[in-house]
Amino acid sequence: MEILHAQNKAGQRLLVISQNKFPAVQLRTTEPNAEGNIIINSIDYISGNTAGWNQYSLELSGTGSCELRETYAVFSLNDDIEKVQIERGKIRLYDSTLIGSTAAENLRNREERIDVLTEWMKNLDGAPHELNRKTFQAHWKPILLPETCAKGKRPSGWMQAGDAFKRSENINWNTSYTERVFPEEFWQVRNSGTLLRDWEEAFEWIYFQYEWETFIAMLSLENTLTRVK
């Protein structure tokens, strides 16, 4: 973990906290008051993919504490951190860049889809947690997108006699598998190829959202950091 004591463009002092397990994310808080209390402001996220990148600032509600000394700092969050909404962001997709309200709306829509998806994933029987990226992808991609995986990695019985298919994004999606496995609100998202685009363009985001509780738990511990400069 790293804490930077910084200043924003408006001249306000703040803390910027990063964690090695989630390098795409920076947590921003107020400077500690006289009692060492801090207010959680937002998460700044940026992560690239083969098509471009997603960048956003997600407003949060919560509190914590931080004691800053000459040679060390002691930091922890209260674990009742709540997400509010994405305030702003940018999207780069190949040669196009979306900014302003258009980018914010697209990012909020993707955030909503990822929230629904990962909540469903986490509540499946036997869903694994505290995974690294490689094992997360190896476990979940064959379940979410078996049509894009090698035959030997697809779930047993994923295709059955009489299954129906729909072509989208140059892939024949097994719509019968979709209806057997996914909640109804996600049928169109998967069958249209939107889930595939989310996976390809926002894998790090999906991983982070799935491991949200792990992220908060790490920061809720009493972390002691040594000053390096």
* DSSP code per residue over 38-49: EEEEEEEEEEEE
Among 73, 63, 58, CA closest to 24: 58
> Which two three-digit tokens encode residue 98?
């979306």
pLDDT band at 71 (very low <50, low <70, confident <90, very high): very high
Task: Using the predicted structure, report yes or no on whether residue 170 has a pLDDT greater than 90.
Answer: yes
Question: What is residue 228's predicted lDDT score, i.e. its pLDDT?
Answer: 80
pLDDT in tens, 138-153: 999 999 999 999 999 9
| Mean pLDDT for the chain overall | 94
Task: Using the predicted structure, report yes or no on whether residue 76 has a pLDDT greater than 70.
Answer: yes
State the residue range of the domain holding 174: 2-226
Overall number of domains in the chain:
1
pLDDT in tens, 10-22: 788 999 999 999 9
Secondary structure of residue 178 in the 3-state scheme = helix
